């Protein structure tokens, strides 16, 4: 297999017997068919070298007493390794593999979500309009650059002044921003809200650095630098011998303002620290960012940003976002929870014609996965990202999902290319125990429930491409130790002849 690529292989029928087509990986990433390996005859009851190696990896002290389920399926569909393969486990972010499959099946890889900019009247001779409405279409990928392009497009079309308010409308989805089974919602970016209109995945960045001398306040920067954010700087610079610790929390949102509280101490000369945090009011955040970009383009906005119904009669612009294939790549590579959940709600909106919500979205996700023969008995889908600990999936279901996704003529190349590559990118970039360039897989981690998961494709030493899934629940060791044990298991899969 060439670097960054994937073996073009054949996957036959799964061990459960579901239909499996040809495993089609992106041709630009392919390296040709492997040579046939000679069969190895084993005595009845004897274990193969790969079974011995993988069992040994799971005896690591960090995994003692853990509930482990795993499955490895070869190119012709034979089971190379199985440990409770139908056992239901908490999948953590491996659930995103199912969400991605359902989204690609529902929309297709070229689908683009539409955001509409409308006004109450056409621009007059001076380029002025009244109020300006922003109608979200559930695009989970809109970022600062997109809002800049929207403003630039409006400027090119002659818009010079908004003589009224910016009205933000996120009613394409319901107003339940956080799933009820996520528990206590923190201000960290992985708890970003899920909304029909949003920006930057519902998140922003805070950089806090020390002042010039002890006693000075900390230097705080917020990106994007919007009036929407109000920094409450309680931090202090301390001497080089003092202990330093820092906290960055989201305060209350009130009108067009959201407080960011920075507290703690940093030593003189210490490196600045960066934090990703989530917003409380995603549509207002998007509107504030759009207002900032409009004004940067020289377009005056006299009013304020407020929520409302953006049903103004004159459409100025229809913005088509990134293709779904790119959105799937982003949320699988970097395990973006808000994007995964946004796609679940979008699937529900498409299926029902009503505002997207978790019940309708998950019902349609399940219907599609059942039609693809992916889900087995006992499967439970609580959300689309795996952040809720109530979901239950087996390794066989994940292997079947990977088989179905890769074998799809409509979106197989896009599905496989969206997975992190061992040692190269995404959440596998710094997993040094995973063989470089030989694994494409989705990671999963839930610290409170002590869940570790990894599912995807691997190239073995004999050139065979296999599909694997390992779900570990309730490990007793530390996170790093458990991760090393799982990585060693995958390394054994790759390296054992």
Contact 452, 444 (CB under 8 A): yes
Nearest to 248 by CA among 336, 171, 189, 315: 189
Of 93, 360, 391, 469, catalytic: 93
Q: Which residues, 6 or more positions from 291, have their beta carbon under 8 angstroms from its beta carbon?
A: 166, 301, 305
Task: Quote the CA–CA distance of 112 and 139 in Å, as a whole number.
Answer: 8
**Residue 333 annotated among the catalytic residues of the structure:** no
96: part of which helix (H) or strand (E)?
A: helix 96-107
Tokens of 481: 């130790």
**Residue 243 annotated among the catalytic residues of the structure:** no
Q: Which residues on neighbouring strands pair with residue 229, listed in sequence order? A: 258
How many helices and strands (H and E) does the chain possess?
10, 19
**DSSP state string for 394-428:** -HHHHHHHHHHHHH-TTTHHHHHHTS-BTTTSGGG
End-to-end CA distance of the chain: 16
Q: Residue 190, class by beta-carbon neighbours within 10 Å (0-12 exposed, 13-18 middle, 19+ buried)?
A: middle
Crossing angle for the helix pair 479-495 and 49-57, to the nearest 10 degrees: 170
Contact 458, 442 (CB under 8 A): no
Nearest to 24 by CA among 292, 415, 291, 386: 415
Task: Quote the CA–CA distance of 260 and 231 in Å, as a whole number.
Answer: 5
Of 96, 333, 345, 442, catalytic: 96
Place of tokens 């909304």: 195
**Residue 161 annotated among the catalytic residues of the structure:** no
Task: Quote the CA–CA distance of 211 and 267 in Å, as a whole number.
Answer: 9
Of 187, 325, 335, 469, catalytic: 335
Tell me the catalytic residues: 93, 96, 335
């Amino acid at each position: 297999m060439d670097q960054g690529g994937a073996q073009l292989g054949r996957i036959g029928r799964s061990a459960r017997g579901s239909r499996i087509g040809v495993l089609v990986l992106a041709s630009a990433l392919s390296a040709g068919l492997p040579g046939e390996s000679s069969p190895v005859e084993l005595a009845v009851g004897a274990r193969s070298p790969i079974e011995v190696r993988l069992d040994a990896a799971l005896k690591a002290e960090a995994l003692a007493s853990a509930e482990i389920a795993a499955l490895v399926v070869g190119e012709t569909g034979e089971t190379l390794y199985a440990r409770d393969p139908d056992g239901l486990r908490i999948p953590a972010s491996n659930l995103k593999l199912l969400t991605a499959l359902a989204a690609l099946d529902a929309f297709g890889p070229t689908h683009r979500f539409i955001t509409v900019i409308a006004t109450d009247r056409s621009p007059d001779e001076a380029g002025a309009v009244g109020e300006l409405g922003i109608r979200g279409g559930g695009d989970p990928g809109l970022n600062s650059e997109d809002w800049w392009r929207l403003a630039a497009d409006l400027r090119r079309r002659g818009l010079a002044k908004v003589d009224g308010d910016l009205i933000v409308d996120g009613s394409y989805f319901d107003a339940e921003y956080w799933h009820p089974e996520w528990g206590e919602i923190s201000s960290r970016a992985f708890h970003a809200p899920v909304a029909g209109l949003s920006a930057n995945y519902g998140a922003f960045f805070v950089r806090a650095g020390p002042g010039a001398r002890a006693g000075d306040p900390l230097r705080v920067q917020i990106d994007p630098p919007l009036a929407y954010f109000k920094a409450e700087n309680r931090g202090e610079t301390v001497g080089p011998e003092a202990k330093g610790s820092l906290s960055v929390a989201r305060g209350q949102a009130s009108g067009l303002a959201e407080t960011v509280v920075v507290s703690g101490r940093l030593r003189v000369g210490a490196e600045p620290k960066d934090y990703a945090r989530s917003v409380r009011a995603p549509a207002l955040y998007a509107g504030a960012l759009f207002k900032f970009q409009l004004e940067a383009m020289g377009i005056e906005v006299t009013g304020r940003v407020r929520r409302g119904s953006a049903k103004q009669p004159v459409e100025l612009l229809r913005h088509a976002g990134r293709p779904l294939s790119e959105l799937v790549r982003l949320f699988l590579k970097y395990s973006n929870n808000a994007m995964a959940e946004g796609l679940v709600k979008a699937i529900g909106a498409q299926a029902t014609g009503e505002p997207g919500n978790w019940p309708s979205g998950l019902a349609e996700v399940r219907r599609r996965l059942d039609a693809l023969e992916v889900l087995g008995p006992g499967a439970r889908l609580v959300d689309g990202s795996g952040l809720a600990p109530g979901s239950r999936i087996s390794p066989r279901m994940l292997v079947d999902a990977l088989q179905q996704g890769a074998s799809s003529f409509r979106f197989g190349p896009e599905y496989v290319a969206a997975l992190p590559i061992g040692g190269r990118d995404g959440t596998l970039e710094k997993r040094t125990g995973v063989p470089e360039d030989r694994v494409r897989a989705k990671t999963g981690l839930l610290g409170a429930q002590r869940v570790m998961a990894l599912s995807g494709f691997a190239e073995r030493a004999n050139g065979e491409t296999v599909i694997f899934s390992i779900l570990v629940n309730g490990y007793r060791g530390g996170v790093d130790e458990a991760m090393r044990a799982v990585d060693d298991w995958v390394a054994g899969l790759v390296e054992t002849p």
